[in-house]
Chains A and B, each alone.
Chain A
Amino acid sequence: MAASALLPWHVEHWQRIQAQVAANRLPHALLFAGPTGLGKRLFANRLMDLRLCADNDGSVDACGVCANCLLRKAETHPDRFELMPEDGSDQIKIDQVRTMVDWAYQTAQRGKGKYVLIAPAEVLNIQSANALLKCLEEPPSGTHFVLIADTPGQLIPTIRSRCSTMFFRPPPTDAAMSWLESQTEYQPEHEVLLKIAGGAPLAVEAMINAGYLETRACVLNLFSVLRDGGSPVSAASVVVKQMPETVIGIMVSLILDLVRLVRGDIEIRHVDVTSDLAPLSRGIPEAQWFLLLDYLIECRALLASGANPNAQLMMEGICTRTAEALA
């Protein structure tokens, strides 16, 4: 199997890991940290696949045909454990960690070591994180941990200090663009989306698939309707069909740009719609925007906590506040 090529901004990291493997000094706990959309998980899987492959001596990629690789593809490899939130939960619970620890203290089934992937590591709750510490600090022989975190600052310090951290940073814009062009046909929106995504190339694809620009047009329209004195309730009914998380994310991103406009900042992200944003920002004090931002972030936290708020009411609340800010 020709595995998909190494992402260009991973090359340096990969070489570093390979050098550690070659020297038999692969850290027992690795933390891959960096913004979302940089392919940290791809990188982690690639590493684990290669280490679990029966035929991995000297080669760069897992062979894809040995019994170990077949098991991995069928997602039944017995020496690989993935810790992630269970369905309907947004946290990794302590029972999951305990199951993993029991598993870790038994010998590997296929004799190629054992690998634990914790992704995203931020969702370990405090109890789970503490239950993990002992095993993470001194894992049984041949056991390796790979943790993935978009915001490593959210991890408790005792977890962070037990891991060897590898930071992933967005590649330079031209490198990211050339990679995007090599992947799909060039589209003019790529450049804009890359900027909105903070330079994370894999995020661009996800944004295109999710129809980001269409939703953003919808939100922009919402702003102008509200500024012109439209009813918040009827405005809300238009966007309520969208995912509330997406709408809030776009609003936050747009409002940050509005603040930048007020300050005369040049680092505008939504460069393609600056002409639409400029009139919105005129004459409104910065503080208004920050109040609205606070409210939006509160709503987002509410959604993330699994409180399952009424989407209609929430959007109406947001629209009312926005209308007040724009008035």
Chain B
Amino acid sequence: MKISINRETLLKPLQQVAGVVERRQTLPVLSNVLMRVKGNQLSMTGTDLEVEMQGNVEANIEDTGEITVPARKLMDIVRQLPDGSDVSFSLNEQRLQIVSGRFKSNLSTLPASDFPTVDTSEVESTVKVPGTAFKQLLDRTAFAMAQQDVRYFLNGMLIELSGDGVRVVATDGHRLATSVLSMGQGVSEVNQVIIPRKGILELQRMLSEEEGDVEISLGSNHMRAQASQMTLTTKLVDGKFPDYNRVIPKNGNKVISAEREVLRQALSRTAILSNEKFRGIRLNISDEQIQLSANNPEREEAEELVSVEYSGADLEIGFNVGYLLDALGVAEGKNVKVTLNDANSPALIESPDNEQTVYVVMPMKL
């Protein structure tokens, strides 16, 4: 293998690939990046056995081949080279020589056949979506994913391809976030998969660097997201996700409309004096106003009145303020619509500007 390439072309995809490589590894080959030279392309692959990230760049190819080298060292070397310089790689006697200007180094290698790549022969359905829109979809919902829950299927995000388009759902059992990206034509068969948490976080990272369309393919064991330069493949969580349709309340009769930023700020002020562990906050809803109140075991108290558009029966309801703040933080638009029923029923939070996204927050008894 012998190639040369511009530093700037190489660096960005290499940083993305090296990002998934974990620092501490039990298997030495997992701290390496797989470099494959084929046609006029150099492809670099890194994996942590959960997520695989591949970056493809064009390079001047003199000789093809494949090898793995330590990811972090390679990235550090490339990063420290002067801007705009050219780098050349050549493999001789199981060492990868890197030459750039007057700099020369030799990296240790491991054979490419030791590298556990993903085997994705089967693909069940594929859709193409705009990258930025898909990223927004993830950004609006990812916060609701569970972390290290024993219900392992909640430690991830449901992605559903259907006739409507792409729907994503995340929940930790206390709150739920779902959003849908409508497309002209979806797929004929409904296909649901659960992407592990790490896969979602890496996908968000990848999409923030990418423009243009992303092709999402689902198989029985993997999901692959292919953008112009980067391809991410993640394992799936083998489990059954709760039926989100049954979680979204449909019988709400108390509709409150509030200014999102005003409500959010009032909540975060009041939250300071809520119980640090349970973060409970009381909402007393009456005509045209909500009274927020919180207190903690040290007998400190906070209260605030927020003016809203509401007319109907009075209601007292408690929430974990963290969950409300998360939802209000990612909701869009100036106003927010909150639909309630009674003190034991969940709240439905929507943005009037964006009806594709819905948040559900369970109340708490105070």
Contact = CB atoms under 8 A, between A and B. Distances in A.
Contacts of B115: 76
A174 interface: no
A106 B29 contact: no
Contacts of B80: none
Centre residue among A75, A101, A107, A108 by max chain B CB count within 10 A: A107
A285 interface: no
A38 B115 CA distance: 33
A111 B235 CA distance: 11
Interface of B: 27, 29-30, 49-50, 111, 113-119, 121-122, 152-153, 196, 220-222, 235-239
Contacts of A1: none
Given A105-B237, A106-B50, A74 B121 contact: no
Contacts of A67: 113, 117, 119
Given A78-B49, A102-B152, A111-B121, A140 B238 contact: yes
Contacts of B221: 107-109, 111
A111 B237 contact: no
Given A74-B29, A111-B122, A105 B114 contact: no
A107 B222 CA distance: 7
Contacts of B119: 67, 109-111
B77 to A, nearest CB: 24
Contacts of B114: 70-71, 74, 76
A106 B113 contact: no
Nearest to A112: B119
B54 to A, nearest CB: 14
Given A76-B27, A78-B116, A106 B237 contact: yes
Interface in A86-114: 101-103, 105-111
Centre residue among A76, A101, A109, A140 by max chain B CB count within 10 A: A109
Given A106-B238, A107-B235, A71 B116 contact: yes
B235 A106 contact: yes
Interface of A: 67, 70-71, 74-78, 101-103, 105-111, 140-141
B196 to A, nearest CB: 6
B236 A75 contact: no
Main secondary structure of the interface of B (DSSP, over half): loop
A109 B113 contact: no
Nearest to B121: A111
B152 A109 contact: no
A71 B239 contact: no
Centre residue among A74, A106, A108 by max chain B CB count within 10 A: A106
A70 B117 CA distance: 12
A103 B237 CA distance: 9
Given A107-B220, A110-B118, A111-B121, A74 B235 contact: no
B113 A141 contact: no
A1 to B, nearest CB: 14
Contacts of A74: 29, 111, 113-114
B239 A140 contact: yes
Given A76-B114, A111-B119, 11 more contacts: A67-B117, A74-B29, A76-B30, A77-B116, A105-B152, A105-B239, A107-B221, A110-B118, A111-B121, A111-B122, A111-B220
Contacts of A101: 152
Contacts of B239: 105, 140
28 contacts: A67-B113, A67-B117, A67-B119, A70-B114, A71-B113, A71-B114, A74-B113, A74-B114, A76-B27, A76-B29, A76-B30, A78-B49, A102-B152, A103-B49, A105-B152, A105-B153, A105-B239, A106-B196, A107-B220, A107-B222, A107-B237, A108-B221, A109-B235, A110-B118, A110-B119, A111-B121, A111-B122, A141-B238
Contacts of A141: 238
B241 to A, nearest CB: 13
Contacts of B222: 107, 109
Centre residue among B29, B30, B153, B238 by max chain A CB count within 10 A: B238
B36 to A, nearest CB: 14
Contacts of A108: 221, 235
A216 B116 CA distance: 47
B44 to A, nearest CB: 18
A109 B49 contact: yes
B338 to A, nearest CB: 35
Contacts of A109: 49, 116, 118-119, 221-222, 235
A97 B261 CA distance: 45
A71 B27 CA distance: 12
Nearest to B118: A109
Contacts of A140: 238-239
A78 B117 CA distance: 9
A75 B27 contact: yes
A106 B236 contact: yes
Contacts of B50: 106
A67 B111 CA distance: 12
Contact of A105 (B27, B116, B118, B238): B238
Given A105-B237, A106-B196, A109-B235, A70 B49 contact: no
Q: Lowest 5 CB-CB distances: which A-B pairs, in order?
A: A74-B114, A140-B238, A107-B221, A78-B116, A110-B119
B67 to A, nearest CB: 14
A102 B111 CA distance: 28
A102 B29 CA distance: 21
A303 to B, nearest CB: 28
A76 B152 contact: no
Contacts of A102: 152
A76 B68 CA distance: 13
A76 B29 CA distance: 8
Nearest to B196: A106
A70 B119 CA distance: 14
Centre residue among A101, A108, A140, A141 by max chain B CB count within 10 A: A108
Nearest to B120: A111
A101 B49 CA distance: 14
